[in-house]
Structure 1
Amino acid sequence: MLGEEAADDIPDAFRILDADHSNKIDVDELEAFMPIIAPRAPPRVLREHIQKVDRNFDGKLNLTEFTDMVSRGIGRDIAFIGAEVKHY
């Protein structure tokens, strides 16, 4: 569960990630931030996790879906997976 301050920051994070101001975040917009969030996570990991919260199956996240993703710790999970990926 998120603290109140963290929950208040979710809409701001959503607006930052929504580069085209469509009120939806697509995979490309999230992938643009992957080097910051999880530099070693493969893009397929991001897509798989987005599918977990994409209720209308449009491949994009609206604010409600994004809030669900953050609240469920999926961003943390992606970052953790990225830290575990080894490149040989």
Structure 2
Amino acid sequence: MVPIAIGLTLILVAAGVIGILVFGFMNVISGKMALDKLVTIAVPFIIAVIAYFVFGDATQAAIFTMLLMIGIVFLGIFLTGARSSFIKI
């Protein structure tokens, strides 16, 4: 019973991912999605693929990608706060 449930879950996840890719591709072709937004979404995936080829292990690549993205977020928050503290608009 459990293997059937796991198999069905994986099929549903795969169908969802395929649907997201198909409709996302259609939105890019029709011009509904800007290129800068697409690049922003693609950055973590690109980092993960590069990290996978560097480390050779999916787990290490995922952890490295997560830590790097957290670092980028903290850096962005810091720079935004520093800019608003010293530059009066």
**TM-score higher than 0.5 here?**
no
Report 1 or 2 for greater relative contact order, CA contacts < 8 Å, sequence distance ≥ 6. Answer: 1
Q: TM-score, normalised by structure 1?
A: 0.29
Q: TM-score, normalised by structure 2?
A: 0.29
Normalized per residue, the structure richer in helix is 2
Normalized per residue, the structure richer in strand is 1
